[in-house]
């Protein structure tokens, strides 16, 4: 099955059309976003999600908003940019794309370039990642780092998808990734569509999967790489890295170079997004599953220290950190 288009500019270029990723896998619905508020909400509520995809979306959004800003003169493009950047703090790609658009002289060409460059980087990341695998290997994944989180192929899933195109066979254990279930809802869908043999597990089952030697490696995406090699990714990633170290399983992080933040010294400098407790207590459940009023802590990301990472795979190659 061809992968779904996640982001595109409308024909008359006055809106951005996105696949509403909150509804996957049961419903495929597209949303047309025209206003800055609609675009902010799309990022904030994860209608569009995944670090590179958020960056691509922000680039298109800035192009559309540049026309609004010229016409209405209510807000400058810089103000729209600051507003979009404030939607989510952890993935650097959002800030990166907005700043890149603010420096561009031809915004129309620039947003297309951001998209095309990401597709080219993903393809190279997939090629580089494929050198880590042999036919029949089994990989553990967390959250979603596939085509829907990027432009095509994805980062963390790219090697598996490219390998399948070359008739290689792979298995994957897919963490469901509580609380927003990106693994169960999106990674399982993308890998099954690619023909990978998928087994879905709850997040707390990764330990037994590794203890029983069911996986050859762990592949994850990431939202920001600090200058020292620490990495922020979906909550639960650091726990997986600790387990991997214990069981001697290689732990690889995949990202385009747009996710590297040279200005951020270490993982301690990365702002971790905290989200609403309803994501833990009721979202994706038929009814509330925790006592009314219970206190919750809901960080959306965590930081994996560089010493737990075997290597970081980008379009430029593999950097071995451990």
Backbone angles phi, psi at 131, to 5 degrees: -70, -15
Question: Which of the residues 124 through 143 are near ligand MRU (CB under 6 A)?
Answer: 143
Which residues neighbour 111 within 8 Å (Cβ) at sequence distance 6 or greater?
A: 9, 56, 59, 60, 62, 63, 101
By CB under 6 A, name the one of 65, 138, 149, 210 that touches ligand MRU: 149
Residue 162 sits in the site that holds ligand MRU (CB under 6 A): no
DSSP E strand stretches across 204-321: 217-220, 224-226, 231-234, 251-254, 260-261, 301-304, 311-314, 317-320
Distance between CA 126 and CA 81 in Å, rounded? 31
Whether 137 is catalytic is no
CB of 313 to ligand MRU, least distance (A): 12
Residue 233 sits in the site that holds ligand MRU (CB under 6 A): yes
By CB under 6 A, name the one of 110, 118, 176, 223 that touches ligand MRU: 223
Q: Could you give the string, one character per residue 44-73, with x where binding to ligand MRU holds by CB under 6 A and - elsewhere?
A: --x--xxxx---------------------
Q: Given the residues 118, 137, 223, 302, select the one marked as catalytic.
A: 223
Backbone angles phi, psi at 266, to 5 degrees: -140, 175
Eight-state DSSP code of residue 123: H
CB of 158 to ligand MRU, least distance (A): 9
Q: Which residues pair with 314 in a beta bridge?
A: 317
Q: Could you give the string, one character per residue 246-285, with x where binding to ligand MRU holds by CB under 6 A and - elsewhere?
A: ----------------------------------------
Q: Which stretch binds ligand MRU (CB under 6 A): 58-66, 99-107, 201-209, 217-225?
A: 217-225
Instruction: Name the nearest CA neighbour of 157 among 142, 178, 137.
Output: 142
| Position closest to ligand MRU via CB | 221
Query: Max alpha carbon distance in the chain (Å)?
Result: 62
Q: Which is nearer to ligand MRU, 69 or 315 (CB)?
A: 315
Instruction: Centre a 10 Å sphere on the Cβ of residue 266 and count the other Cβ atoms it contains.
Output: 14
Active site residues: 223
- What residues make contact with ligand MRU under the rule CB under 6 A? 46, 49-52, 91, 143, 145, 149-150, 154-155, 182, 221-223, 233-234, 300
């Amino acid at each position: 099955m061809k992968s779904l288009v996640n982001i595109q500019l409308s024909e008359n270029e006055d809106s951005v059309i996105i696949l509403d990723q909150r509804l996957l896998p049961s419903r495929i619905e597209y949303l047309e976003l025209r206003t800055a508020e609609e675009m902010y909400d799309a990022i904030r509520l994860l209608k569009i999600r995944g670090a590179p995809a958020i960056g691509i979306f922000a680039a298109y959004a800035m192009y559309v908003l540049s026309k609004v800003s010229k016409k209405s003169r209510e807000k400058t493009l810089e103000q729209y940019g600051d507003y979009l950047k404030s939607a989510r703090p952890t993935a650097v790609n959002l800030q990166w794309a907005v700043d890149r658009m603010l420096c561009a002289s031809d915004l129309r060409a620039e947003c297309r370039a951001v998209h095309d460059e990401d597709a080219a980087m993903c393809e190279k990341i997939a090629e580089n990642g494929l050198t880590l695998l042999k036919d029949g290997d089994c990989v553990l994944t967390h959250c979603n780092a596939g085509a829907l989180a990027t432009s095509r192929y994805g980062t963390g899933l790219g090697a598996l998808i490219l390998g399948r195109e070359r008739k290689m066979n792979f298995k994957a254990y897919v963490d469901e990734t509580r609380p927003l279930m990106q693994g169960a809802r999106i990674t399982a869908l993308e890998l099954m569509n690619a023909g990978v043999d998928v087994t879905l597990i709850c997040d707390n089952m990764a330990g037994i999967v590794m203890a029983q030697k069911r996986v050859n490696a762990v592949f994850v995406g990431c939202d920001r790489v600090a200058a020292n090699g620490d990495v922020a990714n979906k909550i639960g990633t650091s726990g997986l890295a600790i387990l991997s170290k214990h069981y001697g399983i290689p732990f690889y992080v995949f990202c385009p170079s747009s996710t590297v933040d040279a200005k951020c010294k270490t993982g301690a400098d990365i702002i971790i997004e905290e989200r609403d407790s309803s994501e833990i207590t009721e979202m994706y459940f038929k009814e509330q599953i925790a006592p009314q009023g219970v206190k919750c802590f809901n960080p959306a990301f965590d930081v994996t220290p560089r010493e737990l990472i075997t290597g970081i795979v980008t379009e430029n190659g593999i950097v071995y950190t451990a």
